[in-house]
Chain A
Amino acid sequence: MTTVEESAPAPEPASAPEERPIGYGRLKRKEDPRFVRGKGHYVDDIQLPGMLHGAVLRSPLAHARIVSIDTSAAESHPKVKAVITGAALEGLGLAWMPTLSMDTQAVLATDKVRFQGQEVAFVVAEDHYAARDAVELIDVEYEPLDPVIDARHALDPGAPVIRDDQEGRTDNHIFDWEAGDREATDAVFARADVVVAQDMLYPRVHPAPLETCGCVADMDPVEGKLTLWETTQAPHAHRTLYAMVAGLPEHKIRVVSPDIGGGFGNKVGIYPGYVCAVVGSILTGKPVKWVEDRSENLMSTSFARDYHMHGEIAASRDGRILAVRVNVLADHGAFNGTAQPTKYPAGFFHIFTGSYDIEAAHCKVTGVYTNKAPGGVAYACSFRVTEAVYLVERMVDCLADELGEDPAELRMKNLLRPEQFPYHNKTGWEYDSGDYPATLRKALDVAGYAELRREQAERRARGELMGVGVSFFTETVGAGPRAHMDILGLGMADGCELRIHPTGKAVLRISVQSQGQGHETTFAQIVAEELGIPPEDIEVVHGDTDQTPFGLGTYGSRSTPVSGAAAAVVARKVRDKSRIIAGAMLEISPEDLEWEKGRWFVKGDPGNAKTIPEIALAAHGALELPEGVEGHLEATTVYNPPNLTYPYGAYICVVDVDPGTGVVKVRRFVAVDDCGTRINPTIIEGQVHGGLADGVGMALMEIIAFDEDGNCLSGSFMDYLLPTALEVPAWELDHTVTPSPHHPIGAKGIGESATVGSPPAVVNAVMDAIGVRHADMPLTPGRVWQAMHGGVGAPQ
């Protein structure tokens, strides 16, 4: 059935909203009443007695030597309590900190500044206003150096060396990384009928969460315990890193991630401001709050993408795709701070073989330093899957253009077939399950593809520019098997604890951290499905390291694939135990009991049963338990995923382009997603809606741009454009369901599918409309017009 998202969401198989499913189905989010009533509790809402406020002095230059820093005027400001510089941090061994990619990053600059917006000093004052005023009183003398802004010149001989803090370094090269088989790929290319090559840039964009980053650090000098409220997607990872880096004992650190106003990867890493706030609290003996402003967020925190890609695709004359190869130049900014599993410096980019049955593939990725903000986070991209999908889906359209074939038919001809799963691709992934042709067929039906092509031909005859773009994506998410995947040595498995209270209500403690994904609802539904108790009876606790088991947090669509699996497994453990207790209650062997959602009954005697609440009370009561069975009803688990999961989908975008101005109007967008088992369709649709809007934004308007001196030109929402309801159409969603065979509940994750899959659909549609093979994002009116007139577009 087609779900056309007009006003009310059309019903999906599960129960209507008011029916309150016990388990999977549509259910309004448990967390929403507090959000819609303004009762959410964010980091900036925290007020502690005696709390002080921090502000950061940032570099105005992209590359310069620091000659001197004079803090005396700031220190004599009547409301200032402390001014911290890099020199002061050096004394504590904290002037530099490790990044998530085994590099180092300056907490406060000591020798040089390496990007505009870099942290140079930190002021602690009685209020936020005084802190900001005092920042301006700090006098820094800089000796400007030539910057490296364009990554394509980072490796030029004689290019300024950005990271001269590193012993013996003579260039800006970070890494070379390869996947696939170069020789085999070259051989296929050599004999292919058709080879198409295309350069493309996936520009630097920003996660731009509504809530910027910030923290409140409270070092209790008596207990020696640090409490740190942080905007973090990964509280446990942060705590361990603070312990390892700052030398604070781990049990004396509590990281709390309260309500988070969006993350998208922006809140994975540790920022200098957090470290400075901690130092500020230690120095003053008072809690210190630091919350960055919008410009600071856009200019200094983790960006995403910035991949210069040279793609090539080889095919037979009759349109069989044979091989793909790609060379990437990855701009990592001034410090290599990308968030990726250690073994994968280019993340999971090597899923660029996409959804197609090809013979060979090879990629080489070269990472370089530039004088720009560090990062390169997994911004709603499942570790660079976004770049990979964009590359292959644009290349397929370039091939279709070359062959004069319909892009949907070309894809259909080359998609993996259901019987090929589990499928081992040419770069080392094992795709778990899928029926790709069925999903594409559904998308084409929903869109009315043939009719769209007819309409397009008619409009073209009238001089109107209408375009239809198709993309088919496969993601690899849910990192990951701990044998292969870790971040700074911490394995990517997640813990979970479930406790049933005596009255049958429950508390589930999870290691991942919601930034808006609806964990409090989804995770309760997972347990509800397994135990047959209502989701509203299950409290989901997350985001507090003192309250929850260890795990690596939420990003890369890993919550449901990893932590969701843990929740199902732990609930099954509790169910197994409840069977034993029910057996004791009914004085019957547990083997003679049968499960029906919510109760164990005697085989052949359905009336003779014990419900979970009855069993829970007995487990906490005087009931005599069998040998070796402990009282109470609870369990813990750690889930180490055997493989990643592979959500996929088919997207179709319809655009109209104004021939006189280049303005693009997205008229329709059809998204058919397969995320395996669907826990809460309403939440899934919400995730897809957000991701699609995000994708339209990246395709049409988002870019973090720099001038040649390294000035960031996108430091506010006047310049960094985010799409609104006016830029996007009414989404038309549908789905297929191919459960993951290796996941306890068959769920694959949906958090990033739409962000990953939609940009190529939009770009393909615009190129189709204007009859141009390729133009880089963002397709602002000016760039579209320039592309139509053979230009390269405005320099960014």
Chain B
Amino acid sequence: MQVPAAFEYRRASSVEDALALLETLGEEARVVAGGHSLLPMMKLRLARPEYLIDINDLSDLDYLRVEGGELRVGALTRHRSLLESELVGSHFPIFHDAERVIADPPVRNRGTIGGSLCQADPSEDLSAVCAALRATLVVRGRGGTRAIPMAAFYRGPYETAVGPAEMLVEIRLPLVPHSGSAYEKVERKAGDWAVAAAGAALSLHGGRIGQAGIALAALGAATVNSVRAEQALLGQEPTEQAFAAAGRAAAQDCDPVTDGRGSAEYKRHLADELTRRALRRAADRAAVAALAAGAAGEDG
């Protein structure tokens, strides 16, 4: 049995309580949500917080609702809720694509979206999903809240914009008309972390690509988004040619390393291949959304 170093345990009764504990206990205190990233690291003694602040009682951080043209997701929402939610799936099928291949049911039952994003592992699938969807993250401290775009939230491997006495409380995903999204991941076995993954989201306006979000996981990119791939798509018709150009751009934007999951060369190829695949499916879904909207007489 792998056992962590000694630590003290506190159970927060509210967000305010959790923030107060973070402030009084100082730098050596860590929030624990699902614990599926933090506890393994503690057991390997790679992480040794002196205090754990358990936020699992904060059910007011566990919600999914549409408000102000956004899907708002509480930070304590579990992988499983995202996977099972029709609301999430209807607006952002990319979440269902990704959640199906994240870990296994026991991990998904407990692991949270907040924990995934705050862990900021370069292979974290939800980071790529949120980046492709251009999420805004709401971070709260004792002094108030800040809204941070995903691109500024992720500061590199295991580093985020969340300050020492702050918590991520909400993820906001803008609802974009006539849009579609998809996620493609290569793994060595079910539940494995990605060898490489790509997420794509795009909207169609008058048969051309309006907005585009391309994000990569496990590919060593300095930022999660592939800006060049996104630019390659803007204003284009959703054709194989456009997707190929985006795929090539994504392959240029990434900086993978050779390891047990594969060579850098292979992973760079996957950035291209998976970006194209995700784009094809995202475009198909966007076309269906545009058709449905057209049938309902909505304006794009």
A residues bordering B, Cβ < 8 Å?
44, 128-129, 132-133, 136, 291, 293-295, 660-663, 700-701, 703, 705, 713-714, 716, 718-719, 721, 723-724, 726-727, 780-783, 785-786, 791, 793-796
Contacts and interface: CB of A to CB of B under 8 A. Distances in A.
A464 to B, nearest CB: 16
A724 B189 contact: yes
B2 A295 contact: yes
The 5 closest A-B pairs by CB, nearest first: A782-B262, A726-B190, A293-B2, A794-B263, A782-B266
B191 interface: yes
Contacts of A793: 263
A128 B263 contact: no
B131 interface: no
B163 interface: no
Contacts of B6: 129, 133
A644 to B, nearest CB: 35
A713 B258 CA distance: 13
Interface string B259-300: 111110111011001100100000000000000000000000
A719 B189 contact: no
Contact of B262 (A44, A291, A293, A781): A781
Contacts of A727: 189-190
Given A128-B1, A727-B189, A786-B263, A781 B195 contact: yes
B263 A791 contact: yes
B159 interface: no
B28 interface: no
Given A781-B266, A794-B261, 17 more contacts: A44-B1, A129-B6, A660-B273, A661-B186, A661-B270, A663-B186, A718-B192, A719-B260, A724-B191, A726-B190, A727-B190, A781-B188, A781-B262, A782-B267, A783-B262, A785-B262, A786-B262
B5 interface: yes
Contact of A293 (B1, B191, B261, B263): B1
Contacts of B259: 794
A718 B94 CA distance: 25
B260 A705 contact: yes
B3 A128 contact: yes
A723 B2 contact: no
Interface residues of B, number: 29
Nearest to B193: A718
Contacts of B273: 660-661
B3 A780 contact: no
Nearest to A713: B260
A780 B261 contact: yes
Contacts of A785: 262, 266, 269
A795 B258 contact: yes
Interface centre among B5, B193, B265, B266 (most CB of A within 10 A): B266
A794 B266 contact: yes
Nearest to A131: B3
Contacts of B44: 295, 716
B196 to A, nearest CB: 9
A663 B261 CA distance: 12
A660 B3 CA distance: 42
A701 B259 CA distance: 14
B214 to A, nearest CB: 17
Interface of B: 1-3, 5-6, 44-45, 186, 188-193, 195, 258-263, 265-267, 269-270, 273-274, 277
A794 B195 contact: no
A627 B189 CA distance: 69
A54 to B, nearest CB: 13
Nearest to A292: B1
Contacts of A294: 2
A721 B189 contact: yes
B189 A726 contact: yes
A660 B259 CA distance: 20
A44 B1 CA distance: 10
Contacts of A291: 1
A660 B277 CA distance: 10
9 contacts: A128-B3, A136-B5, A136-B45, A661-B186, A700-B188, A780-B195, A782-B262, A786-B265, A791-B263
A60 B262 CA distance: 25
Contacts of B193: 718
Nearest to A663: B186
Given A661-B270, A785-B269, A723 B189 contact: yes
A26 B58 CA distance: 53
B3 A721 contact: no
Contacts of A705: 260
B266 A786 contact: yes
B188 A721 contact: yes
A793 B260 CA distance: 10
A129 B192 CA distance: 30
A724 B258 CA distance: 26
A261 to B, nearest CB: 14
B258 A701 contact: no
A476 B265 CA distance: 43
B3 A129 contact: yes
A781 B1 contact: no
Contacts of B267: 782
Nearest to A658: B186
Contacts of B258: 794-795
Nearest to B270: A661
A673 B190 CA distance: 29
A129 B45 CA distance: 12
A398 B32 CA distance: 54
B63 to A, nearest CB: 31
A432 B94 CA distance: 59
Nearest to A778: B188
Contacts of B270: 661
Contact of B189 (A293, A295, A701): A701
Contacts of B260: 703, 705, 713-714, 719, 794, 796
A295 B274 CA distance: 33
Contacts of B3: 128-129, 132
A257 B86 CA distance: 52
